[in-house]
């Protein structure tokens, strides 16, 4: 009997251990003023996204800015799911600036990012992997799609950096953005900045 009790106790602790660890994992939350935080079991919290810092090493004239995109599938609000990097805005009343020509759409039904929302749009989006702003040393060339081709959706992944080459009848623009926060099927917060085209630099340098 003395041997059975310690054995049963060890087994019980083993069964409860995963629940204890799970309870210690932080929970993603959004405050009333829109800030992203991580809540811990002991009642403490911390900001879940940090200042991306400078992107000057990528040729950017401005520091990265942030925006939160809502899932079109869940919320049904197209103007909260799209963003114009050209104008740096979301939800354009009357579409006076964008004329409904948006650069990025979040979760149009598959949980990912979509580009090329108009007929003549040759934009292309590339996931360059999980990294911080400082880890991306240079802007890669992202060749626009051939005329008539349509881009597929690119999965949204937290912590990943993306390079977007927007090309249509009114815009030829390179943008880098990072997914700082992701609630799959609900919303995502990205930091972003427009950068000079690396294709121009390659043309100026000429062949090696």
User: What pLDDT does 54 receive?
Assistant: 81
Alpha carbon distance 27, 45 (integer Å) = 9
Residue ranges per structural domain of the chain: 4-39, 51-205
pLDDT digits (tens, 9 = 90+) for 25-39: 666 676 656 666 666
Residue 46's H or E segment, with its range, is strand 45-47
pLDDT digits (tens, 9 = 90+) for 70-95: 999 999 999 999 999 999 999 888 88
Going by pLDDT thresholds of 50, 70 and 90, the confidence category of residue 142 is very high
User: What pLDDT does 120 receive?
Assistant: 86
Question: Alpha-carbon torsion 93, 99, 101, 103, what sign?
Answer: negative
Task: Assess contact for 49 and 159: CB atoms under 8 A.
Answer: no
Task: Assess contact for 75 and 62: CB atoms under 8 A.
Answer: no
Q: What is the mean pLDDT of the chain?
A: 83
Which of 97-101, 130-134, 180-184 shows the lowest mean pLDDT across its residues?
Answer: 97-101
pLDDT digits (tens, 9 = 90+) for 35-74: 666 666 665 555 566 567 789 999 998 999 999 999 999 9
Task: Assess contact for 2 and 8: CB atoms under 8 A.
Answer: no
pLDDT digits (tens, 9 = 90+) for 162-205: 999 999 998 999 999 999 999 999 999 999 999 999 997 665 55
Question: pTM here?
Answer: 0.76
CA angle 168, 157, 178 (to 5 degrees): 60
């Amino acid at each position: 009997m003395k041997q059975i009790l310690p054995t049963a106790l060890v087994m019980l602790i083993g069964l409860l251990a995963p629940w204890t660890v799970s309870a210690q994992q932080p929970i993603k939350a959004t405050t009333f003023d829109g800030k992203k935080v991580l809540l811990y079991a002991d009642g403490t919290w911390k900001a879940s996204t940090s200042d991306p810092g400078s992107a000057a090493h990528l040729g950017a004239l401005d520091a990265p800015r942030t925006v939160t995109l809502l899932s079109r599938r869940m919320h049904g609000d197209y103007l909260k799911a799209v963003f114009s990097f050209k104008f740096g805005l979301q939800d354009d009343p009357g579409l006076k600036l964008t004329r409904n020509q948006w650069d990025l759409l979040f979760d149009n039904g598959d949980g990912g990012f979509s580009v090329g929302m108009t007929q003549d749009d040759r934009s292309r989006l590339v996931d360059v992997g999980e990294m911080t702003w400082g880890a991306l040393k240079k802007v890669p060339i992202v060749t626009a799609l051939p005329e008539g081709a349509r881009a597929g959706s690119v999965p949204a992944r937290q912590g990943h950096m993306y390079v977007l080459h927007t090309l249509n009848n009114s815009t030829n623009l390179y943008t880098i953005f990072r997914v700082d926060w992701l609630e799959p099927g609900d919303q995502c917060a990205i930091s972003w900045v427009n950068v000079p085209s690396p294709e121009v630099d390659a043309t100026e340098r000429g062949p090696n």
